[in-house]
Amino acid sequence: MAEGWFVYVVRCGDGSLYTGITKDVSARVAAHDAGRGARYTRGRGPVSLVDHVGPLTWSEALRLERRVKRTRAPQKIAVLLAGADNIRLAP
């Protein structure tokens, strides 16, 4: 059963993408935008939400986040969405 974790991708002001996990996507994006999020996003604002998937269990979210972070920027969203489908379909 999913616990309510989400994997999200935001686009920074410099055009780069950042991927993370959270239980509250809107609060986390607001924190990034205010400069209180991850070190990577500080000074790269404003950020905007590109996409997110969930709810997932914590371990599913970590695995998907790692998979997305290892992917080049143009494919990140496709991997995010495909990865979520694969996790949900897994027995």
Residue 3, pLDDT > 80, answer no
CATH number for the domain spanning 20: value is 3.40.1440
- The pLDDT mean for the chain works out to 87
Residue 27, pLDDT > 50, answer yes
- Mean of pLDDT values over 24-52: 93
Number of structural domains found in the chain: 1
Residue 90, pLDDT > 70, answer no
Rg of the chain, C-alpha, whole Å = 13
**pLDDT at residue number 21:** 97
Whole-Å CA distances, 13 to 18, 40, 60, 71, 88? 11, 12, 29, 20, 32
For tokens 């996990």, what's the residue?
21
**Torsion angle of C-alpha atoms 74, 78, 79, 80, degrees rounded to 10:** 110
- Mean of pLDDT values over 20-37: 95
Q: How many CA atoms lie within 13 A of 1 on its CB side?
A: 1
Whole-Å CA distances, 42 to 1, 19, 34? 34, 14, 8
User: Rounded to two decimals, what is the model's pTM?
Assistant: 0.84
Residue 47 belongs to domain spanning: 5-89
- The pLDDT-based confidence of 87 (bands split at 50, 70, 90) is low
